[in-house]
Structure 1
Amino acid sequence: MPAGETVRGLLELTRPVNVVAASVLTFIGAFVAGGVLEQPLAVGAAVAATGLAVGAGNAINDYFDREIDRINQPERAIPRGAVSPRGALGFSIVLFGAAVSLAVTLPTVAIVIAGLNLAALVAYTEVFKGLPGLGNALVAYLVGSTFLFGAAAVGEIGPAVVLFILAAIATVSREIIKDVEDLEGDREEGLRTLPIAIGERRALQIALGLLVVGVFASPVPFLLGYFGSAYLLVVIPADILMLYAGYESFDDPTAGQSRLKYGTFLAALAFIFGRALEFGGL
């Protein structure tokens, strides 16, 4: 296998879009807590630790999921032979080690969150993924906790709690839709995901219902005074996109979960733009 293809495969294992998105959420958590300018080194360490941990978690997930991916995602790095299973495992360990070395420089609450998250990332595929709803809830916690981690890194977790809740709602919906997308391979491996346990349509109805709850809750940061009116101008298109993604998933789960990911990222940008423009007096 050419070295260039191996490097590309290793990069693919980390899911760069997910790494960037999670890092941005950590930055937003610190930003909402008001610590970006006051504690730039802590914010930088938290953002980098998040990116490394997410990359490590995705890599080890692909290691454990390699047989399922031969059915569901044969183009991924391990099934197509770009990276060996042992290489993926070793790569994930290196990334985890780098994440830990940065996390231990942060305040105690941030270290506790990081420790819980690292344990959850490792346990997800082997313990939680095949349990109806629990695996989805764990992933939702991990995504939402990036806000909490960023805020804890600068010593003020309170303002990020509402962002954690909103992100978790959107994420659990996307995870349910992804389980519908991966139904064939999950059933082949004997996993008992939510769509397998209760049926595809009912699972998608739950996902859409959660999205509706999240959309109705999205103005809460504005109402609590965390963001100015500019936040609403950005979050409303994100809400529309996410609702459409939930509706689309009934016909095309692959397109729906992909669109939902970008809707969630757009909502995250609404948080940071709203806060930034508030500082500017808008």
Structure 2
Amino acid sequence: MSVGERVRGLVELTRPGNAVAAGALTFIGAFVAVGSGASSVQTLVAAGATTLAVGAGNALNDYFDREIDAINQPARPIPRDAVSPRGALVFSLALFAGAVVLAATLPPLAIGIAAVNLLALIAYTELFKGLPGVGNVVVGFLGGSTFLFGGAAVGRPRATVVLFVLAALSTVTREIIKDVEDIDGDREEGLNTLPIAIGAERALYVAAGFLALAVLASPVPYFLGTFGAVYLTVVGPADFIMVYAMVESFDDPTAGQSRIKYGMFLAAVAFVVGRLAM
């Protein structure tokens, strides 16, 4: 195995697109909280800490999931021998260390959020992933908290609470659909995910319930007077995309969970646009 292939494998472990996107969501959280008045240093440090932590969590998840991935995702770095299990674990710990160093420079509440999230990331695969619905809720909290962390980093976490709730609900929806997608490999590994515990179709209805809550709550910033009509013009299409993706998931979970992600990003853009229009 060449050095280039090993480096490529390490980068792939982090799911760089997801890690950078998480950092961008933290940046958005800071911007929504205080607009252009956000400290660029604090915002960038928080975004960097999020990116490293998510990359570390993804690498750690691949370490613990290497046997499942040999069935569900054989092209991932560990199953295809681009990275050894030990190498993936060491790399993950190094990224976690970098995230801790950056987070330690932020305000106390941001440090507290970072500490809770780091512990949840480390414990996720071994403690939560195999518990029906619990793992999905943990991932939802982690996804939504990227915005909350950004707000806390600039001293205004309350301004991002609604965004946190909406993102968490949408993320739980997507995670349940992903479990339906991975049901064969998870069953082979002996995990007891929500689709395995109650059936794929019922699990999808549970996911639809979480998404319905998110869609119904999405106009709240408008009715509270936080954002104006411009926000609604963007969040409306985001809601439509996610509802369409949810319906699609009953026939094609892979396509559905992928499409929901686009709706989630568009919803985040709605908050940015809403802030710009203030």
The TM-score by the shorter chain falls in which range?
over 0.9
Aligned residues of 1:30 and 1:36 also touching (Cα < 8 A): no
Give 1:261 shift.
1.2
Partner of residue 34, structure 2: 34
CA distance in 2, matches of 1:262, 1:12: 21
CA distance in 2, matches of 1:15, 1:36: 29
CA distance in 1, matches of 2:228, 2:77: 43
Q: CA RMSD in A?
A: 1.2
2:48 pairs with 1:62: no
How many residue pairs end up in the alignment? Answer: 278
Aligned residues of 1:21 and 1:265 also touching (Cα < 8 A): no
AA partner of residue 255 (structure 2):
A
CA distance in 2, matches of 1:214, 1:149: 20
2:118 pairs with 1:118: yes
Give 1:225 shift.
2.6
SS in 1 for 2:277: helix
2:208 pairs with 1:203: no
CA distance in 1, matches of 2:98, 2:226: 33
SS in 1 for 2:251: coil
Structure 1: 5+ residue stretches without partners: none
Report the TM-score, using the length of structure 2 for normalisation.
0.97
Partner of residue 2, structure 2: 2
AA partner of residue 126 (structure 1):
E
User: Which aligned segments of 4 or more residues in structure 1 are displaced greater than 4 angstroms?
Assistant: none
SS in 2 for 1:130: coil
CA distance in 2, matches of 1:31, 1:221: 16
Aligned residues of 1:249 and 1:256 also touching (Cα < 8 A): yes
SS in 1 for 2:120: helix
CA distance in 2, matches of 1:229, 1:35: 18
Partner of residue 261, structure 2: 261
Give 1:155 shift.
1.1
Residues 135-144 or 4-13, more deviating: 4-13
Aligned residues of 2:248 and 2:256 also touching (Cα < 8 A): yes
SS in 2 for 1:34: helix
CA distance in 2, matches of 1:127, 1:36: 40
AA partner of residue 206 (structure 2):
I
CA distance in 1, matches of 2:231, 2:14: 30
Aligned residues of 2:113 and 2:149 also touching (Cα < 8 A): yes
Partner of residue 160, structure 1: 160
SS in 1 for 2:37: coil
Aligned residues of 1:173 and 1:207 also touching (Cα < 8 A): yes
Aligned residues of 1:35 and 1:154 also touching (Cα < 8 A): no
Partner of residue 147, structure 2: 147
Partner of residue 174, structure 2: 174
AA partner of residue 2 (structure 1):
S
Give 1:38 shift.
4.0
CA distance in 1, matches of 2:55, 2:222: 32
CA distance in 2, matches of 1:32, 1:138: 24
AA partner of residue 265 (structure 1):
F
CA distance in 2, matches of 1:210, 1:37: 34
CA distance in 1, matches of 2:272, 2:35: 13
Give 1:36 shift.
4.7
Residues 195-204 or 222-231, more deviating: 222-231
CA distance in 2, matches of 1:161, 1:89: 33
CA distance in 2, matches of 1:60, 1:17: 16
